[in-house]
Amino acid sequence: MEQFTALLVPGLLALAALLGLAKGVDVYSALAEGALDGLKVLLRIFPALVGLLTAVYMLRASGLLEAAGAALEPVLHLLGIPQEVIALLLVRPVSGSAALGVGAELIERYGPDSLIGRTAAVMLGSTETTFYTVAVYFGAAGIRRSRYAIPAALCADLTGFVVAAWAVRMMSF
């Protein structure tokens, strides 16, 4: 496993470059253009992150997050989810940049290789902004009766949260 993950980054870079050359793609300018796209993504989420991290830091300093985590502790414990990630669970289906902000704060505070840091990272990487996605797709398609789409999507989210906590514990601790 360690060898595999160590090889992943350099391997992917080499593979992409070789494949590109073989297919006659201008690899270097594609790389640069893609990097510019990355910068645009960053510019788009930066203003939202300023607002959200401000609110999250205030909330944490006020002691409310800990109180909410402690109140929900029995339920979370039953599901095997560490109570520190409670804020992430609450914002994940509603806002992508808020979830990124909350998740990044957890990863920073507890360390990227800690149990909580890893759990937050897996939760972020394997779920989507459910309400936003449903709104965009059904809005565009002119759907007024969404039927069971939202409950089913939330089922997937909840499963994702529980499995994320479980998988991190199984695979690295």
Does residue 70 belong to the site contacting another protein (CB under 8 A)?
Answer: no
Q: Which residue has the tokens 């073989």?
A: 22
The alpha carbon of 82 is separated from its chain's Cα centroid by a whole number of angstroms, namely 16
Query: Whole-angstrom Cα distance, residue 12 to residue 22?
Result: 15
Contact segment (CB under 8 A) with another protein among 69-77, 78-86, 141-149 equals: 141-149
What's the closest the beta carbon of residue 152 comes to another protein, in angstroms? Answer: 4
Number of residues that bind another protein (CB under 8 A): 103
Query: Which H helix or E strand runs over 89?
Result: helix 86-91
What's the closest the beta carbon of residue 77 comes to another protein, in angstroms? Answer: 20
Does residue 140 belong to the site contacting another protein (CB under 8 A)?
Answer: yes
Please, which of residues 71-90 interact with another protein by CB under 8 A? none
The alpha carbon of 112 is separated from its chain's Cα centroid by a whole number of angstroms, namely 13
What's the closest the beta carbon of residue 78 comes to another protein, in angstroms? Answer: 17
Please, which of residues 2-61 interact with another protein by CB under 8 A? 2, 5-6, 8-9, 12-13, 16-17, 19-20, 23, 25, 27, 30-39, 41-42, 45-46, 49-61
- Cβ contact 122:171 at 8 Å: no
Please, which of residues 92-121 interact with another protein by CB under 8 A? 94-95, 98, 100-101, 103-105, 107-108, 111-113, 117-118, 121
Query: Applying CB under 8 A, which of residues 81, 86, 89, 153 lies at the interface with another protein?
Result: 153
What's the closest the beta carbon of residue 83 comes to another protein, in angstroms? Answer: 17
Structure tokens at 151: 């409950």
Closest CA relative to residue 92, chosen from 121, 67, 57: 121
Q: Which DSSP state fits 83?
A: G
Task: Report the largest interatomic distance among the alpha carbons of the chain, rounded to a whole angstrom.
Answer: 59
Query: Applying CB under 8 A, which of residues 69, 73, 79, 126 lies at the interface with another protein?
Result: 126
- Cβ contact 116:110 at 8 Å: yes
